[in-house]
Amino acid sequence: MLTFGVLALGVSDVQRAADFWSVALGYKLREDGFGGWAKVLVPPDGAGTAIALQLSQTPPEDHPRLHIDLHVADATEQAAEAARLVSLGATRVEWDSYPDDPDFIVLADTEGNRFCIVDLSYDHGG
């Protein structure tokens, strides 16, 4: 039976990415070859998705088909987390595909990988 292993994230500077995502998510760095990876970030309690950092020279996609969504409880928390992550080195993305009233903010990590902060309280009118 298959289980979800890790989210492999291509980065050009493994240590910089490890520093960013460790602080951003409160993850801990494992360097013991977990899952065959040299560096893996894991949640402190062991529950949740691990992030494997893979050295890559391929530039990040402007409109990736696969990305990370980070959830927050409301718009206030969304704004605060976006500001916190920008202070850690993330950048706001001038996203040309926002809907008229988005429930998400698009950021890029220190390596240019796109991710979203999603407001779970957002009422989609339904």
Taking the domains of the chain in order of start, what are their residue ranges? Answer: 6-55, 68-119
The DSSP bridge pattern shows strands 28-30 and 40-42 to be antiparallel
Residue whose C-alpha is closest to residue 25's, from 125, 109, 97: 109
pLDDT exceeds 80 at position 125 = no
pLDDT, mean of residues 99-115: 94
Q: What is the CATH number of domain 68-119?
A: 3.10.180.10
Give the single-character DSSP code of 35: G
* pLDDT one-digit tens code per residue, 26-62: 999 998 888 788 899 999 998 889 999 999 999 999 8
pTM score: 0.89
Q: What is the CATH number of domain 6-55?
A: 3.30.720
pLDDT, mean of residues 54-79: 94
Give the C-alpha separation, 100 to 98, whole Å. 7
